[in-house]
Chain A
Amino acid sequence: MIIRKSGFLEKNTPIKYRISSIGVHSDTNKFSWWAGVQMGPPDPILGVTEAFKRDTNPKKMNLGVGAYRDDQGKPFVLDCVRKAEALISSKQLDKEYLAIGGLGDFTKSCAQLALGADSEVLKSGRNITVQTISGTGSLRIGANFLSRFHSASRDVYLPTPSWGNHTPIFRDAGMQLKAYRYYDPSTCGFDFKGTLDDISKMPERSVILLHACAHNPTGVDPKPEQWKEIADLVKKRDLLVFFDMAYQGFASGDIDRDAWAVRHFIEQGHNIVLSQSFAKNMGLYGERVGGLTLVCKDAEEAKRVESQLKILIRPIYSNPPMNGARIAATILNTTELYNIWLEEVHCMANRIIKMREQLAANLKSEGSTHNWEHVTDQIGMFCFTGLKPDQVERLTKEFSVYMTKDGRISMAGVTSGNVGYLAHGIHAVTK
């Protein structure tokens, strides 16, 4: 038996309670509420980093999670972020709760960034934009909203493949997951015909999730003319469009270019749901900065929708965290910082483009006879190498190159210092 004391007791505590306060814990009592809890499998994406950390090989590479690294392989804190932090620090602001929907300065500029400053939607006030816990939190609240209010359909169509976390998020929110063709493994490119074909068969009022730019995991984006056709067909089918925009600025290096599809759909009359993340384009990963926008029929509807979003948010986390949103708002609303930011995003995108070129070149000089054009055709942080699971496993086991099983690598983790080693490893497992 193990005897423990429970600490001081109030005066006048009767003897019988003084005795029982000396807790007795019998070793023979093995009952647990959790005996039936199974060990959960490691997260397919975040689990990669954990495995990487355990590896002692000095040449190891983490090409798993999409977090930008500089050419020294180090995390990169943007200069505009540091400047914004210094500005904020000097203001000595209080820490009072934000409104449930978040920081007004942030949500306004967040919507503006996505929709464009001259957007008719913003002028008419028919959008509701709330601050969310980065992209995940945005998708989750959006999914919860659809689950509760989109009675016309339970179905959410995801492109094949999509970000691994999309499925569990929508499923946990009570939606049914369906798929549409998107990636063509034979070309490592866009299966435009397959996409159109599948959209044409979707039941009316279904939800279709589209990656606004820099598709994750494939890096394959439709061209503008293709987006136009998709928008037309989606309208014919009367589908509810849910855009996931986690990489605005990161794809082409240009904020407006990357938001083109979103803006086009809106111009075509689609009242979309939009998730935004500032994890990558502002390097604010751990601060959890995101936005959820619903484009409504008019301002009155937007108010009703807003009231219901608050009801959804309150029992999850009450109100969102200030720090990251304050930084993002400061950058977006301060001309000097905004311009620095545009430059830095451009630089990050360019470094990735350069790494793509170097990887393709190195694979060629390794003597690989495969077609690696997709490495430079694809756009954004990720490259869908085309590697099969067994090849991925070899690459990890023999070369300590960590990536997700689907063959996706984060180009952001590639540097001029390790691109040669990576090409060597890829060639070794594919020759």
Chain B
Amino acid sequence: IMSLFGEVPQATPVAVFKVTNDFKEDPNPKKVNLGVGAYRTDEGQPWVLPVVKKVEKIIVADDSLNHEYLPILGLPEFRSSASKIALGEDSPAIQENRVGAVQCLGGTGALKIGAEFLRRWYNGNNNTRTPVYVSAPTWENHNAVFVNAGFEDVRPYKYWDAEKRGLDLSGFLGDLESAPKHSIFVLHACAHNPTGTDPTHVEWMQVAEVMKRRKLFVFFDSAYQGFASGCLDKDAWAVRYFITQGFEMFCAQSFSKNFGLYNERVGNLTIVARDPDNLKRVLSQMEKIVRVTWSNPPSQGARLVAVTLNNPELFSEWKDNVKTMADRVLSMRASLRAKLEALETPGTWDHITQQIGMFSFTGLNPNQVEYLIKEKSIYLMASGRINMCGLTTKNIDYVAESIHESVVNVQ
């Protein structure tokens, strides 16, 4: 009998998960995984935040809690406290009742729901031809999220200057100037993935000025708040600045990294509208989209975050945990740079400490990357992106020496 699925082709695996897969299968005892973006301790182990363990115990012991459905838009106390994290406790926009949120499945889910909404309701109805701009380079799933939501025109905006290993500001501003009006721009709130290169405050102001003048839509992706500098407020500067400039915007928040809740899928789509009436209508349409996607979101992770954020002691403990992670990353950056410079590895390596967040765009080319993987069992992305969290005091010498070798031996 002819199979209905006889014609289904084998799809290529998602790159970042393949890297981890290959790492797992490698028998080399010296192997290092610098691929997927998840925090690791100095022992190279996943880290369940102490505050999370504490709150989990509270939840398991609480007999008054159950597993009932959450509302379609999610746990109310999660949504509001999560938005406050991004916008600030005293945000005027919140006080003006024009901020709402949709609890989503991770940052991906928040981007998805936001994208689905924009496709239906932004720039006319169902205008699938509205250009969506994502940075060059960007998180590899951004493209797919917007394409799958129905957008036909997803384009790159200049961002990374490979030669100078920094932000291509004039290219970025140039693309903003030449983008069709009403184009959607996906901006990384902080700790740009994969480059680790963020605009300075002045640069953000310039970006905002052009976006306001040319009526471009602001869609922030905030997956690393707290993780970049160690300070929540500092990392939210860009998002909050744009609000002072009067933008209506979306901000997709992830709590995967800063709460270490990766597999509980905790995300929040924060919506900043012109006024409460607009917000109400927007949220009602968000419900429709959620209902045909997952009906209502998972409760465990949201509960954990809500309990933590709404309790002053736990909130304080969480901020400490976040700082612990950010500090370790910073020390690995300093260490790697120092070692490469001590080895006199050709090239300049200050970008390692200038870049911010979990990732570093090393500047290694595909051949050098292949060398590291094949000859050294050091796993990283073909783009040269490494996850700093994969570095430990125990493996950093091996990694530094290997990078040195690859740069010297491989063109």
* A67 in complex: contacting residue of B69, B217, B265, B298, CB < 8 Å: B69
Q: Given the interface contacts A94-B46, A317-B105, does A136 sit within 8 Å of B293 by beta carbon?
A: yes
- Residue pair A314, B67 in contact (C-beta under 8 Å): no
A46 touches B281 (CB 8 A): no
Of the candidate stretches B106-114, B167-175, B352-360, the one touching chain A is B106-114
Q: Is B295 close to A, CB under 8 A?
A: yes
What A residues does B291 contact at CB under 8 A?
A: 43, 46, 136, 165, 168
Q: Does B183 contact A (CB under 8 A)?
A: no
Residue A134, interface by CB 8 Å: yes
Question: Residues of B contacting A285 with CB < 8 Å?
Answer: 67-69
Tell me if A301 and B3 are in contact (CB < 8 A).
yes
Contact of A86 among B60, B112, B240, B280 (CB under 8 A): B60
Looking at B14, B57, B121, B244, the one whose CB has the most chain A CB atoms below 10 A away is B244
Instruction: Give, as a whole number of angstroms, the nearest-CB distance from B133 to chain A.
Output: 17
Contact call A321/B278, Cβ cutoff below 8 A: no
Question: Which residue numbers of A lie inside 8 Å of B, CB to CB?
Answer: 2, 4-10, 13-14, 17, 20-26, 29-40, 43, 46, 50, 65, 67, 75-77, 81, 85-86, 89, 92, 94-100, 133-137, 140, 149-152, 165, 168-169, 172, 205, 240, 269, 271, 279, 283-288, 294, 296-297, 301, 303-305, 307-308, 310-311, 314-324
Query: Are B248 and A315 in contact (CB-based, < 8 A)?
Result: no
The verdict on A286 contacting B69 (CB below 8 Å), with A136-B294, A140-B292, A321-B298 known, is yes
Query: Is A305 a contact partner of B8 (Cβ separation < 8 A)?
Result: yes
CA distance A36 to B68 in the complex (A): 35
A285 to B264 Cα, complex, angstroms:
15
* B300 contacts chain A at the CB level, 8 A cutoff: yes
Most buried by B among A7, A169, A318: A318
Determine whether B148 belongs to the interface, using a CB cutoff of 8 Å to chain A. yes
Given A20-B209, A133-B105, A301-B5, residue A314 in contact with residue B248 (CB < 8 A): no
Cβ A34 vs Cβ B248 within 8 A:
yes
Chain A binder among B185-193, B255-263, B310-318, B319-327: B255-263
Q: Is the CB of A134 within 8 A of B7?
A: no
Contact B6 A315 (CB under 8 A): no
Counting from the closest, the 3 A-B pairs by CB-CB distance are A23-B244, A317-B105, A286-B299
User: CB-CB < 8 A to B217: which residues of A?
Assistant: 33
B225 to chain A, nearest CB (A): 14
Give Cα A140 to B300, complex, Å. Answer: 22
CA A284 – CA B70 in complex, angstroms? 11
Nearest-CB residue, chain A, relative to B275: A32
Q: Which residues of B contact A17 (CB under 8 A)?
A: 201-202, 205
B268 to chain A, nearest CB (A): 13
Q: Which residues of B contact A5 (CB under 8 A)?
A: 244
Asked if B55 is at the interface (CB within 8 A of a chain A CB), the reply is: no
Contact A168 B48, CB 8 Å, known A34-B121, A271-B3:
no
Residue of A nearest to B263 (CB): A322
The answer to whether A40 and B288 have CB atoms under 8 Å apart is yes
Whether A30 touches B274, Cβ cut-off 8 Å, given contacts A37-B121, A137-B294, A310-B11, is yes
Collect the chain A residues with CB atoms within 8 Å of residue B46's CB: 94-96
Is A81 within 8 A of B67, CB to CB? Answer: yes
> Are A304 and B205 also in contact (CB < 8 A) when A288-B297, A316-B109, A321-B298 are?
no
Q: List 11 A-B contacts (CB under 8 A).
A: A13-B201, A22-B244, A46-B72, A65-B69, A97-B38, A165-B291, A240-B4, A286-B298, A318-B265, A323-B301, A324-B298
Assembled-state Cα–Cα distance A324/B105 (Å): 14
Smallest Cβ-Cβ distance to A170: which chain B residue = B292
Contacts of B147 in A (CB 8 A): 315
Partner of B294, one of A7, A26, A134: A134
Q: Quick check: is B180 within 8 A (CB to CB) of the other chain?
A: no
